[in-house]
Structure 1
């Protein structure tokens, strides 16, 4: 058992390094593939880049959360659900990072901090039991979906490439939330949901600028 836990830690440590340092790859085609670049002003590019940077950090947090939960999940099926969600979030990382660079921006310097915090939260959530771990997954994806919807109203209207990426991410997040519910996710208490939203606001406000 001790060796099994150590193996998991090594695997997730490697995942963390890849998330923060390596170039992510997507098995699926990028949602904006084939679309022409719109004529955006410098201000629009900076704004779109900042929004995509926020989305990128959100995916970093999701990757860390699911990695932490996968370590402490008691049921093999639950752990597999977490790992699958994390793999799909890697595609989102690739899409966002590519788009940020196309817009002339950069990913957030705060990513390591948010990754560490999210990983710790995921580990605790997993230790509470699989139904609560899945509850965190479902609520996280619901909040991310709301967050992405708000970005669709904020992105420059002409920036179809960014919009296409955000739209596909929203579809994927809704699927993750539904999968968690089908696997027996518990309904999180209102205070927990509130705290999650406040943390999300902190991440959004800081990574938009940094």
Structure 2
């Protein structure tokens, strides 16, 4: 099947529309939330604030994931890679909606810096795609491995009674691990040694800011 032909203006409008969808408050999930039907957990005020900070980090992470995948897909060299990236972005959109809903349940809000994180991540994704489909998929695999480890640390930090947040993060962790395996199986190549370290440092900064603001 032939891919549609887009003008430069068409592509710019698509990028803008995707950004507005991601950063808006009305993100919709295709899959039901893993927390659906679970009773609200009793939490102290310090616990609520801590969990809200963790979920704000995860929400910002999903904003970044949308931008990364869409930036990579925009410049992917072949249709198979592009389809893989867009499918993963669809599942990450579920995560975005789940985290947003959980933030509202916790009477909190997303990070005020999400537009900045989105813009930076989109550019980073586009740059990764410029290196070729192999390095681009390798970037996906490394990103998802780091996200999986970070989600595990959040699972260990949640209050024992917070079944709703735990259910969401456990499903996200499973999805991220699968995305990493699929990216590697799809031809992802290992990244040069400094890149994963720089990625971890950048993620540390994002988490420190998003937890609070």
TM-score by length of 2: 0.95
Q: Does 1:120 align with 2:126?
A: no
- After TM superposition, the structure 1 = structure 2 runs for residues 125-136 of structure 1, keeping only pairs within 5 Å, are 125-136=128-139
Distance across 2 between alignment mates of 1:201 and 1:136 = 17
**How much does 1:172 deviate?**
0.5
Partner of 2:17: 14
Distance across 2 between alignment mates of 1:31 and 1:202 = 28
Distance across 1 between alignment mates of 2:80 and 2:59 = 27
Q: 1:151 aligns with which of 140, 154, 158?
A: 154
Partner of 1:84: 87
Partner of 1:50: 53
Cα deviation, 1:85-118, whole Å, max 9, x if unaligned, reads 1111110011000001101111100100000000
Distance across 2 between alignment mates of 1:69 and 1:174 = 19
Partner of 1:197: 200
Distance 1:5 1:125, change over 3 A: farther
Runs of 5+ unmatched residues, structure 2: none
**How much does 1:189 deviate?**
1.3
Report the secondary structure of 1:10's partner residue.
Answer: helix
Distance 1:124 1:6, change over 3 A: farther
Partner of 1:61: 64
Are the aligned partners of 1:9 and 1:71 in contact in 2 as well (CA < 8 Å)?
Answer: no
Give the root-mean-square deviation of aligned CA atoms: 1.4
TM-score by length of 1: 0.96
Distance across 1 between alignment mates of 2:170 and 2:162 = 12
**How much does 1:6 deviate?**
4.8
Distance across 1 between alignment mates of 2:125 and 2:8 = 15
Report the secondary structure of 1:108's partner residue.
Answer: coil
Bigger Cα displacement from structure 2, 12-21 vs 65-74:
12-21
Distance across 1 between alignment mates of 2:10 and 2:23 = 20
Q: How many pairs are equivalent?
A: 210
